[in-house]
């Protein structure tokens, strides 16, 4: 009988899941919330997390552990009490710790190198079901910016892998078993599509925490999207590389420095910026300097502008 061409791929996927199984956790949060009549009401939330170091550190979405109360972490059939070490609401990332020094961390990949169309696996505990559970999909797009009620998430990975409440905080793996993102089910109107926070965003979050002992968010007050060929063609621009400013927060450093909606940022500190993550990375690198130099195109003319960097303590 002729060998099924999909069987080797199926076996490889099963092996990846088996190797990752003991590194993915279910997170159960129990707390108290006041109802409309100011009466205390018990609440219970379920999400996912994944191990990033053998000595008890995991990462999850901030919104998974945003309720105050007890945190129970289930890893490989074992139960642990979890504590939030630090959190970053702007990135929707939180760092957890359990008292265990023999955990199995997942290998972290490079989200800057992912390609649209590559196969990915989302692992987590969807809808509170016993897990981990697995869904297969592809990278549908990168560099997405999503705005919801009270939040803006930038530079997201878009995938058609099924991501439901409970999946939030779980890993998005490539076919090498590397984490390229952390899934989030924070977008209520998404149907048939899912989103993940790039792992490089999480790496920089960890680097900042390691260096300063707290979560910091440098910002200038602009919401941007990648320029791309279609927008560049529509605007009759000679370049398709850069970030289009779609919103400037009134009173922010960017606004007070003269940046306006419709401006195109093509360089930051002499480095080309093609993705939203490029600008955020440079802001994080230069936040101690307190100032960032931008090259901007407006009305087909390029000029340089220095903008103060505001730094907000999170966590």
> Domains along the chain?
7-31+39-97 (2.40.10.10), 107-208 (2.40.10.10), 215-313 (2.30.42.10)
256 pLDDT band, cuts 50/70/90, is very high
Asked if the model's pLDDT at residue 157 lies above 70, the reply is yes
Residue 233: its pLDDT value, please? Answer: 85
Which DSSP string corresponds to the chain?
-PPPTTHHHHHHHHHHHHHHGGGEEEEEEEEEEE-TTS-EEEEEEEEEEEE-STTSEEEE-GGGS-S-EEEEEEETTEEEEEEEEEEETTTTEEEEE-S-S---PPEE--GGG--TT-EEEEEE-GGG-SS-EEEEEEEEEEEEEEEETTEEEEEEEEE-S---TTTTT-EEE-TTSEEEEEEE---TT--S-EEEEEHHHHHHHHHHHHHHSS-EEEE-SEEEEE-HHHHHHHTT-S---SEEEEEE-TTSHHHHHT--TT-EEEEETTEE--SHHHHHHHHHHTTTTTEEEEEEEETTEEEEEEEEPEEEE--
Which two three-digit tokens encode residue 97? 């710790």
pLDDT at 186 over 60: no
pLDDT at 1: 47
Percent of the chain with pLDDT over 70: 90
> Cα separation of 197 and 203, whole Å?
11
Distance from chain centroid for Cα 156: 6
Phi, psi (5° rounding) for residue 209? -65, -40
Residue 42: both structure tokens together? 């018990």
Q: Does 46 score more than 70 pLDDT? A: yes
Average pLDDT rounded to a whole number, residues 286-305: 94
Instruction: Provide mean pLDDT across the span 182-191.
Output: 69
State how far the Cα of 188 lies from the Cα of 191, in Å rounded to an integer: 8
Query: Which residues does the annotation mark as catalytic?
Result: 63, 92, 168
Q: Check residues 30 and 56 and name the one with the higher pLDDT.
A: 56
pLDDT of residue 127: 58
Q: pLDDT class for 62, splitting at 50, 70, 90?
A: very high
Mean predicted confidence (pLDDT) in 267-274? 94
Residues 100-133 have pLDDT tens digits of 989 999 999 999 999 999 999 999 876 556 666 8
143 vs 149, more confident:
143
């Amino acid at each position: 009988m002729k060998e099924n061409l999909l069987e080797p791929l199926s076996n490889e996927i099963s092996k990846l899941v088996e190797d990752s199984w003991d590194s993915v956790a279910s997170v159960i949060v129990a707390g108290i919330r006041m109802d409309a009549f100011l009466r205390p009401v018990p609440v219970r939330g379920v999400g996912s997390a994944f191990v990033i170091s053998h000595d008890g550190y995991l990462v999850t979405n901030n919104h998974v552990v945003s309720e105050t109360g007890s945190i129970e972490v289930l890893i490989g059939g074992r139960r642990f009490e979890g504590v939030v070490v630090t959190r970053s609401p702007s990135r929707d990332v939180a760092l957890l710790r359990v008292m265990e020094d023999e955990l199995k961390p997942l290998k972290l990949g490079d989200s800057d190198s992912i390609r649209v169309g590559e196969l990915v696996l989302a692992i987590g505990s969807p809808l509170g079901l016993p897990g981990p559970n697995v869904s297969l999909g592809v990278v549908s797009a990168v560099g997405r910016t999503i705005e919801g009620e009270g939040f803006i998430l930038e530079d997201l990975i878009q995938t058609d892998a099924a991501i439901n409440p409970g999946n939030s905080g779980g890993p998005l793996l490539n076919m090498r078993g590397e984490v390229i993102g952390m899934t989030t089910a924070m977008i209520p109107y998404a149907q048939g599509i899912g989103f993940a926070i790039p792992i490089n965003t999480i790496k920089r979050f960890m680097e900042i925490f390691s260096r300063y002992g707290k979560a910091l968010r440098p910002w200038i007050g602009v919401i941007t999207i990648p320029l791309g060929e279609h927008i560049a063609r529509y605007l009759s621009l000679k370049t398709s590389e850069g970030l289009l400013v779609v919103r400037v927060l009134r009173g922010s450093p960017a606004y007070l420095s003269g940046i306006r909606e419709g401006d195109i940022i093509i360089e930051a500190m002499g480095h080309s910026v093609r993705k939203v993550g490029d600008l955020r990375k440079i802001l994080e690198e230069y936040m101690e300097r307190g100032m960032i130099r931008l090259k901007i195109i407006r009305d087909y003319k390029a000029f340089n502008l220095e903008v103060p960097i505001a730094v907000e303590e999170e966590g």
